[in-house]
Structure formats: structure tokens, C-alpha cells
Chains A and B, each alone.
Chain A
């Protein structure tokens, strides 16, 4: 009696498993046929700063339509992490970081070809909070006073470095001994420590913004483009741009790239083509 039922149950389970597997197989079939229909022999692998995610996806889609060049799954990570991935042996054709410092590292370590380095975009730093928080005109001093909980990027996140530079001007961040006595633009915003506040550190600027959106923290320091990227947060304060280094996104072709020519063409297209400009201005990136 029980045994028969058991067999039935097991059969049900097996059928369910088969269904799941079939779903996976058909989905995969769909994918592979879709990718093979877009005929092109060049596929570019891009490593881009996390903040670029939505804008770059849209730009790539347009570029594929215009030229047939396709793109492998673009990695949107903190710029420091992109360098680590290149160091660990992952392949990329183009690297776009969110600060000059991280690109300098990539040049130094020989990950990218310096002659192709192009300053692509600029951005702004803002203070955001969860939408509807009713905060207004929050300043760096307000943050330094410790009234609010704060989330910023960690050392590998350029947005976190910029935030640290800005906070150092109000005494809320102490640079490491090698940069003692300096503040703002003159420090790297790495390896120091926060004074009087204990911000939550996140591994990408996207995560930083998410923490504010979820209301886990009162405030987060992110790029103005992140506000449009996610929604759900609102700008409650502007950070004066003379308190931190200029926010510039350099892009360069990687040394190991097998498609260096095509990669360079894409970088140039991003900064010169009007249709590309339309996409980047929609997502809040000034062309540099």
C-alpha cells in the first residue's frame, strides 16, 4: 500500500525534475540560437566600472545594431576589483575604471595599453537617502557630526575613495601616515580610517546605493548617475567638487586583447558618436 504511493510520489518528483531540466534545455537552446544569428567575428569583453552598468548595456546594444560587433557578458565591478580580476588571469579587451588612480595602477601593472587611454566620462558625487526620507540639504559637516548612519564604498571602490577625500576636509577621515596632514584632493582616499563615524563599507557603488534604497542606512555617498540607475533614492545633498579629485572615467584597451583595433574603435565611438552621447546623457554621464 505505502509502497505504491511512494512510487507515485517519486514519479511525480522525477517528472517535476524533468520539467525543470527541459525548461533549462529549451532556454539554453533559445539562447544559443539567438547569439549565433547575430553574425560577427568580433566579440568584445569589457570590464567596466560598476556605475556604468545600465548605460553601457544600452550603448553595447546600439553598437551591435550599428556594426555587428557583439559583446561578451560585461563585468561591472568596483574598479579595484577589475584590476584584481585582470591580475588573476581573466581576459578582457577593454577596461573602463571610475578613477585616474585605478587606471594608473592598471597601466603600471601592464594590464592595459597606455597609448589607447582615453578619458571617457565625468560624474558627480552626491549624498542620497531612501526616497521619501524628508532629509534636505545634508552637508559634509552633518555627516561628520555623526547624526546619520552612512554607507560608502570600500578601498577598492573609487566612489568610496572620493567620499573619503571629501570627508577628510571636515575631519571625518584620517589619511594614512604617508599622507599625514593632507586633505581633500591631495589624498588617495585609501588605507586611512574614519574618525568619529563608522560608515558601512560596501564592495561596489551599486551596493552602496542599494543600502540607502533599502533604508539600512540614512545616507550614502554615490555618483549622481546612480540615482537614475536604480531609482528609489533621492539626492539630499551635493558634495562640493573641490573637496575631492575630479571624477573621470578613463578607458583603455587591454594589453592581452585579441581585438585591439575593434576595442579601440568602440572606445572612440562611445565618446564621439551622437547616438552614444544620447545614451550616456540619459544615464547622467557627461562626456569628458
Chain B
């Protein structure tokens, strides 16, 4: 491998990273649009004022809580949509179906039944902004304000825009067909409510009531001088990305790194020990132990997780003992380590065993005739000679531990900051509607995995080069037979077959 090779590889790496990034960006941009709840029909009378959302002449803040119509004597702030209310008593008395508005009186209010909407315009508001609730002009402004804001906040449920019949009132109590709508009611001290009740004090949402109506939703807002309306523009592009990264919860990354770094120590030691152990027992016992050590690799991770849960759960003596000594194994961060170790261990074990088996037995025998102890042979001869394969195996096992999902979810659950690793975060963020965060973690994992595989490739190409220089004519036939120890050749061939322990697809 020459300089050009290296450059090409670097170029490829950069390209791939750019590809990943470019794939990610549109998705992220798309996700913002979603989050802001884009208005259904922006075409109707859109004034095209830059990034602002303008519907039917109404400019709506990106947060969906305030709006402004240019030329109107008032603007809207503190818009709030209640999808449901409560049929409970307030204080000690039943008031009907009620909505809590807030601690301030004089709120504009709309209560919709689907068939009609009742709009309440407080007298104080009319005086303050110099309009009359029954003037055509004022009603038009109010309708436009409420429909535009409601559309942003409805999110797929019933829309105020679909309501055909509108009633406007300035009275605190307003009756429609045996149903009384009450607004601006101080039902508890300093607490303002709106409530709906039958003229006879009955529950209008009850099936037994002949005047039964379906209360779909209610909208509340405050009228303010236009200069007080704070229209927040939607952040886009880099500003959005910066904000996204700044407000992001990075704990899954930390949990993942902590888990995998602790796990890899266990995997390294246990994997080497298991490989050394199986090499020194009879072939029959060897095949049995080999099957036991390898089986977590072929079992579905959920099976591993389930078995671990059965073994270490609260209902077993083992699990109970660990709980008693204050070191609970399930649903704790230790559990993530256990799951990662069990699932990634076979990779380490198999690769290092392959590497050990490919060492020249004559050389080990020679060491023994020199009076070396087994321990010394292991640390001074076997480890250094097989080091390249072992290092690659460690990286591979690390990558596997990094991606562990099934067993971790079973045994450790999903506690943010404790057991929520990146793979689990991706699943749960998606499930909770935070697609952009899921995409972020996906990109992180892809880049991370890419780096790991690149590292293995570079590592093994280095060893290949070493072999070529040492033994240019050596055939690579022996590499295809990883199981059988190689008899011929000396130290050089032992080094030459170092990377035979790597899994097939990772060999140069």
C-alpha cells in the first residue's frame, strides 16, 4: 500500500462523511417544518413575507401563541388551545364542563361544539381597542385570528376553520339551545374558568341529557396592542442546527461510552481467557465449550436478555442477593454492561482463538524446552505474536457492544442518563415523535461505526504489508483454513498468518 492508497482512502472517508451529512441535513430541515406545525393552506392570501407564516393576512408567530394582522387595532398573544376540559367540581360545587384559563380576567374565548362556536369578547377589550363585538369588521378580524392560530395548534384534530356557525357575545353567560356558555368566571380566588352547563344545571356532556352536545375544544387568547405582539420567526438552517445541538441531551452518548469502555475490559480479559482455556482441553470438551462460548452470537439478543432477566431478576435468589448488597443487576447501568459483555464476548473469543491456533506449535514447544512457564509463554510469545488479530477483535467487539439493543432493553430498560444508550435512544426518540433527535443519533452511530471499520481495515493492511516484506512468495492458502494449526514454517510464517484470525469479511 502506497501513499496514493492512503490518500484515496482518506478521500473516500471524507466523501462518505459528506454523504452521511448531506443525507442527514434535508431530513433535519424537514423535521423542523414538522415541529412547527406548518399551516395547511398557506396559499390563501399569503403575503409572502419572508420566513413568516402568513395565512389569510394573519402573521402567526412560529411558537403558535401570538398573531398579528397589519392594520388591525389589536394583536393576539397568549393563545392557548384546550383539547379537553374537566367535568369535575371546582371548589365544592359542580359547575358543568369547565376549562381553566388562568389567573387574569378578560380573556377572549372560543368554545367549539363542532356544529357551532361561541366567541366571547370581553367588554374591557372592546373599550381598550375601540371596536364593537357585533361589528362585521371586528368579527372578521377575530375569526381570522382564531382560525389561523387554531390551525397551527390543532395538529390533526378538529379545526375551528371547519366550524360553520359562529355566535359572538360580550355577555359572560350566553345561551344556545338550552346550553349556557359561561366565560371569565372566577370560580376560585384568582382563578378564571369558562364552563358549559345546561340551563337547568345539568351535565351537557352526559348521555342522559336531551340537550347533549359534544364539546370539541376551546381556544383562549388575550388581545394586546399590535406593538406588544412578539412574532418569533422560525429559526432555519444553521441557526436551527446550532440551537438543536445546544439544547440536545447528550447523555445517551455518555452512557454508551461508559458502558462500552467498561464492557470492553471484561470482554478482553474473558475472551482471551476463554480462548486460551479451550485450546488446552481435549477436542471433545473443546467443541462443547466452543458451542457454549459462541452461542450468544447466534442467539437473538432478546433471548440473551430474557435469559439474563430470568437469571438476575428480583424473583431469583441471585438477583435478590445482588439487590440486598446494594448492587442491583436489573434496570441499572451495570445491566447495560452485562448485556454488552454477553453479546460481544463471542466475537472476541472466536477471533483470539483463531489467532492462537494459527501460531506455530513448534515455536511454543521450543519455548517449553527452554523451560518457559505457561504464563510466560502466554504473555511473551502468544500475545505479542497474535497481537494484531487480538487488537482487531477488540475493536470489533467494541463496535458490537456499541450497537447492542435487544438484550440491553430487556435487562436494563430505558432510563435517560442511566441505561439509555444511543441505540435505545434512537428507538425511543422516534417513538416519542422526536424524529430529528433520532436522526442525529443515527448519524453519530453511522460515523462511529464507519471509523471503527476503517480502523480495522487500516490495521490489517499494515500487517499484510509487513508479511509481504518478510515473506513475499508465501502463498496465502493457509489463511483459508483457520481451524487447522499450521505445521510448516518458522517464526516468520507464524507472524504471516496473524490476521487469519479475523473473520472472513475483514481480511484484506
Contacts and interface: CB of A to CB of B under 8 A. Distances in A.
Interface stretch (A175-183, A188-196, A277-285): A277-285
Contacts of B88: 271, 287-288
Interface stretch (A19-27, A61-69, A144-152, A164-172): A19-27
Nearest to B10: A9
B5 A2 contact: yes
B71 interface: no
Interface string B312-328: 01110001000100001
Interface in B428-457: 430-433, 448, 451, 454-455
Contacts of B34: 231-232
Contacts of A2: 1-3, 5-6, 465
Contact of B37 (A30, A85, A231, A271): A231
B106 to A, nearest CB: 17
Given A6-B6, A6-B462, A229-B433, A73 B99 contact: no
Contact of A227 (B10, B81, B155, B414): B155
Given A224-B83, A234-B157, A28 B251 contact: yes
A93 to B, nearest CB: 14
Interface in B314-358: 314-315, 319, 323, 328, 330-331
Contact of A207 (B5, B188, B331, B431): B431
A280 B84 CA distance: 8
Contacts, number: 160
A151 B250 CA distance: 33
Nearest to A73: B416
Interface in B151-189: 155-158, 188
Given A2-B5, A24-B250, A85-B413, A281 B83 contact: yes
Interface residues of A, number: 62
B458 interface: yes
A90 B331 contact: yes
Interface in A8-37: 9-10, 13, 16-17, 20-21, 23-25, 27-28, 30-31
B102 A278 contact: yes
Contact of B6 (A9, A89, A229): A9
Nearest to A213: B433
B158 A274 contact: no
Contacts of A25: 254
Contacts of A225: 83-84
B85 interface: yes
B84 A285 contact: yes
A113 interface: no
Interface string B250-289: 1101100100000000000000000000000000000000
Contact of B80 (A54, A227, A282): A282
A27 B100 contact: no
Nearest to A281: B82
A247 to B, nearest CB: 12
Nearest to B193: A274
Given A206-B432, A227-B155, A24 B253 contact: yes
17 contacts: A2-B5, A2-B6, A2-B465, A10-B455, A10-B458, A20-B448, A21-B257, A27-B253, A72-B415, A75-B414, A85-B413, A90-B331, A232-B156, A234-B156, A234-B157, A281-B84, A281-B100
Interface of B: 1-3, 5-7, 9-10, 34, 37, 80-88, 99-100, 102, 155-158, 188, 191, 249-251, 253-254, 257, 309, 313-315, 319, 323, 328, 330-331, 413-418, 420, 430-433, 448, 451, 454-455, 458, 462, 465
Given A20-B253, A204-B431, 12 more contacts: A20-B257, A28-B250, A73-B415, A89-B314, A227-B156, A228-B83, A232-B156, A235-B156, A235-B157, A235-B158, A271-B88, A281-B85
